[in-house]
Chain A
């Protein structure tokens, strides 16, 4: 850590990880409700649980992005953050908003568009927090060195704020509502969030592999170009069946199929950089998470997204457990892993501890990733069964759900393992530092 103000990131990461704990815990409860549907059905019905699960996910990922930005921008810009005080004020606003939303949901205070259930005052708080953030980081970048990483990161973060404004528009025509709802949801996760993701991955590669900045930044521009060239018109895959014109079936199918490309490019990029590395960075756990992020995002967002994106397929799979399968692995691969990667990288510096529990952290990667993969497989199987019975044979929804019970039990098991992995991760970061479980041998001479 070269700049004092980078320390701001620590507070952001701690709050983010606390919400991560909330997210996986509520996720586990919701997974249990699928198996034992009478559980909590009056106290905390499923709709409330799901709001808590998805909203805490979104907010902790955003807090992680903000923390990552505060961590990396000083190093990239070679200057202290414009105002540390503003950064903490921003965090305080977002924490009050997040807590207000969570507590409010429990007492049935919410709006009702999926993922945008926050009451208006929370939405406005988010906008104010985002404006403070953008002012703060933009001023920092303006007074310091400008790099491709900060350019792309800032563009992504500005995009997040701008597209969020569409959440304030709620027309009474459901089809129009849905069209602009996707301006927030799709243009975030399959648009500007990818810019943030690519920029953070580029920063991690720069630091950990020591490959030339010129090479890394060229990759970065190529990746984000692929992201937006495919992702913007790829929104069309949400415009198949909501009342929008039929030409979206072709535009959506073609461009969203190509959305695989930026994720594949991220796999090529990260593995190439590690292959060509010029230094051995001691933080292998962070490297593992970064490589894992690229691979799991490619499968979760790329392959699993492609699986049901062609309109002829989507006609049958739309809104089944296939979508749930894709959603889970895409978010875990692309954005959860990314956040855990940058936290794994930055935390030892922020907490001033070296060495730290790397082996435990790497184990948590394998436990969480394999559990998420298993969850994705079970939901995919469930979705295939559902698609056939409900959409081809025309059986009733609840009748079909009863036949998917086995998969929901398996998914609950996977959920338990995700929570175990998350606890291991948190322990590796915050628990006492112990000698590594496996001693590292750094004396070996290169083989002839």
Chain B
């Protein structure tokens, strides 16, 4: 069967097929882009503070220990739902305080426990980070993660 296929036929199938699949893929992501912006992330607006929070998240390379929506390093807890884990969906002020206190208390210096560095964030940056986590926790992720433990 493979003998019946000539090299030029194989080449044409490759180029033609790949182009077709690329077009399908690009159109589906375009549709997904619209869906993400208008539906799955539309529950809460991206305020200036949320955007700053994302920047703080990136500037300190948090993703190389933590995961967010399951992506990142696997050294430290998932943070996509950290706001919910701290009870932010019920007591927003309490969760905000708890997360900020946690950040300020690092590192723990406990022997044999994974250490989170002290990032010396300003109060504004800490608030922005919490706003970012709150925003992320409202994304429609098809019910992932399965447990609140992340």
Chain A residues with a Cβ under 8 A of chain B: 34, 36-38, 41-42, 45-48, 50-51, 110-114, 117, 148, 170, 172-179, 183, 214, 217-218, 221-222, 224-225, 228-229, 232-233, 235, 239-249, 251, 315-316, 318-321, 323-324, 390-398, 401
Let me know if B114 and A217 touch, CB within 8 A.
no
Q: A114-B64, A240-B144, A318-B144 are in contact. Are A233 and B46 (CB under 8 A)?
A: no
Min C-beta distance of A49 to chain B, whole Å: 8
Let me know if A112 and B62 touch, CB within 8 A.
yes
Residues of B with C-beta under 8 A to A391: 145-147, 149
Let me know if B136 and A222 touch, CB within 8 A.
no
Let me know if B61 and A176 touch, CB within 8 A.
no
List 9 tightest A-B contacts by C-beta distance, closest first.
Answer: A112-B58, A319-B70, A47-B64, A241-B144, A394-B147, A221-B10, A41-B115, A172-B51, A397-B77
Min C-beta distance of B72 to chain A, whole Å: 6
C-alpha gap A316/B78 in the complex (Å): 13
C-alpha gap A230/B77 in the complex (Å): 32
C-alpha gap A245/B28 in the complex (Å): 10
Tell me the chain B residues, 1-45 only, with Cβ under 8 Å from chain A: 2, 5-7, 10-11, 13-14, 17-18, 21-22, 24-25, 28-29, 31-33, 35-37, 40-41
Residues of B with C-beta under 8 A to A178: 69, 71
Q: A41-B107, A225-B14 are in contact. Are A394 and B64 (CB under 8 A)?
A: no
Q: A114-B64, A241-B70, A319-B71 are in contact. Are A173 and B10 (CB under 8 A)?
A: no
A/B interface sample: 9 pairs, CB < 8 A: A51-B61, A218-B2, A225-B18, A239-B32, A244-B35, A319-B67, A319-B69, A391-B147, A396-B149
Q: When A and B form their complex, what is the total count of cross-chain residue pairs whose Cβ atoms lie within 8 Å?
A: 213
Give B6's nearest chain A residue, CB to CB: A218
Q: A174-B136, A218-B6 are in contact. Are A47 and B62 (CB under 8 A)?
A: yes
C-alpha gap A394/B81 in the complex (Å): 13
Let me know if B36 and A51 touch, CB within 8 A.
no
Residues of A with C-beta under 8 A to B54: 172, 174, 177
Let me know if B76 and A229 touch, CB within 8 A.
no
Residues of B with C-beta under 8 A to A148: 7, 11
Let me know if A397 and B76 touch, CB within 8 A.
yes
Residues of B with C-beta under 8 A to A48: 61, 64
Give A311's nearest chain B residue, CB to CB: B142
Let me know if B142 and A240 touch, CB within 8 A.
yes
Min C-beta distance of B83 to chain A, whole Å: 13
Q: Judge whether B74 is part of the interface by a CB distance below 8 angstroms.
A: yes
C-alpha gap A239/B24 in the complex (Å): 15
Q: A228-B17, A394-B149, A398-B114 are in contact. Are A111 and B58 (CB under 8 A)?
A: yes
The 8 A CB mask of B72-95 against A (1 = contact, 0 = none) is 111111100000000000000000
Let me know if B17 and A45 touch, CB within 8 A.
no
Give A399's nearest chain B residue, CB to CB: B149
Q: A394-B149, A398-B77 are in contact. Are A228 and B14 (CB under 8 A)?
A: yes
C-alpha gap A248/B111 in the complex (Å): 44
Q: A41-B115, A316-B146 are in contact. Are A228 and B32 (CB under 8 A)?
A: no
C-alpha gap A248/B28 in the complex (Å): 9
Interface of A is mostly: helix
Chain B, interface size: which category?
Answer: 35 or more
Let me know if B61 and A242 touch, CB within 8 A.
no
Residues of B with C-beta under 8 A to A396: 77, 149
Let me know if A321 and B142 touch, CB within 8 A.
no
Q: A114-B71, A244-B32 are in contact. Are A46 and B114 (CB under 8 A)?
A: yes
Let me know if B139 and A243 touch, CB within 8 A.
yes
Let me know if B46 and A173 touch, CB within 8 A.
yes
C-alpha gap A390/B85 in the complex (Å): 14
Residues of A with C-beta under 8 A to B67: 319
Q: Judge whether B121 is part of the interface by a CB distance below 8 angstroms.
A: no
Min C-beta distance of B75 to chain A, whole Å: 5
Q: A110-B61, A179-B32 are in contact. Are A390 and B5 (CB under 8 A)?
A: no
Tell me the chain B residues, 97-150 only, with Cβ under 8 Å from chain A: 107, 109, 111-117, 135-136, 139-142, 144-150
Given A50-B65, A173-B41, A229-B21, 14 other A-B residues pairs in contact with their CB atoms under 8 A: A46-B65, A46-B75, A112-B58, A176-B36, A228-B21, A233-B21, A241-B69, A242-B141, A248-B32, A315-B146, A319-B67, A319-B69, A398-B113, A398-B114
Min C-beta distance of A283 to chain B, whole Å: 27
Residues of B with C-beta under 8 A to A110: 61
Q: A176-B37, A233-B25, A243-B36 are in contact. Are A321 and B74 (CB under 8 A)?
A: yes
Contact of B21 among A50, A232, A397 (CB under 8 A): A232
Let me know if B114 and A179 touch, CB within 8 A.
no
Contact of A50 among B64, B68, B111 (CB under 8 A): B64
C-alpha gap A316/B149 in the complex (Å): 12
Min C-beta distance of B30 to chain A, whole Å: 10
Let me know if A244 and B40 touch, CB within 8 A.
yes
C-alpha gap A315/B147 in the complex (Å): 11
Residues of B with C-beta under 8 A to A321: 74
Let me know if A112 and B14 touch, CB within 8 A.
no
Let me know if A47 and B65 touch, CB within 8 A.
yes
